Amino acid sequence: MFPLPEPMRLALDAARRAGEEGEVPVGAVIVRHGQVVSVAANAPRRLHDPTAHAEIQAIRAAAEKLGRERLEECDLWVTLEPCAMCAGAIAHARIARLYYAASDPKGGAVEHGPRFFGQPTCHHRPEIYAGIGEAEGAALLRSFFAARR
């Protein structure tokens, strides 16, 4: 096994903590020029906010921290393939590179369903790298849902 890149390790840690609190375990990290800008996890139940996916939380925190609407030069690392909502937010934020771990045939919108970044109406397409940390990201989700059956 190769060691995971630090941002994906942080995203997986955030996902694990979210799972322990009863949220679907997904984590996200935003990095700019090699520095971590934000770390966030899925939190719709705790926050009573259906938009509080890990990616949205990380994007909002980073934009607030940097004091600007767009996150050019920022990379997003997330433990699961983004859904349509999050893919749309990634485009609006002008994220430069998207790294995601596990793919999500049920709700993913990058390589599944709407395949958002391939649509002619998509205004911004990040560079996309899938599969880094895939086994770890998928295992977290599997054990979370297995424990709830």
Decide: is 25 part of the binding site for a second copy (CB under 8 A). no
Decide: is 17 part of the binding site for a second copy (CB under 8 A). no
User: Taking contact as CB under 8 A, which single stretch among the options 8-16, 31-39, 78-86, 136-144 is the one that binds a second copy?
Assistant: 78-86
**Environment class of 146 (CB within 10 Å of its CB; exposed 0-12, middle 13-18, buried 19+):** exposed
Distance CA 106, CA 95 (A): 24
28 neighbors 75 (Cβ within 8 angstroms): no
Q: Is 73 a catalytic residue?
A: no
116 neighbors 91 (Cβ within 8 angstroms): yes
Decide: is 120 part of the binding site for a second copy (CB under 8 A). yes
7 neighbors 77 (Cβ within 8 angstroms): yes
Judged by beta carbon, residue 77 or residue 116, the one nearer a second copy is 116
Distance CA 138, CA 99 (A): 15
The 3-state DSSP class for residue 29 equals: strand
User: Taking contact as CB under 8 A, which single stretch among the options 28-36, 42-50, 125-133, 134-142 is the one that binds a second copy?
Assistant: 42-50
Residues placed in the known binding site: 53, 83, 86
Judged by beta carbon, residue 40 or residue 136, the one nearer a second copy is 40
Residues placed in the known binding site for Zn(2+): 53, 83, 86
Position 113: which residue type? G
Among 15, 31, 41, 59, binds a second copy (CB under 8 A): 59
Binding site for a second copy (CB under 8 A): 44-45, 48-51, 53, 56, 59-60, 63-64, 66-71, 83-89, 91-94, 105-109, 112-116, 119-123
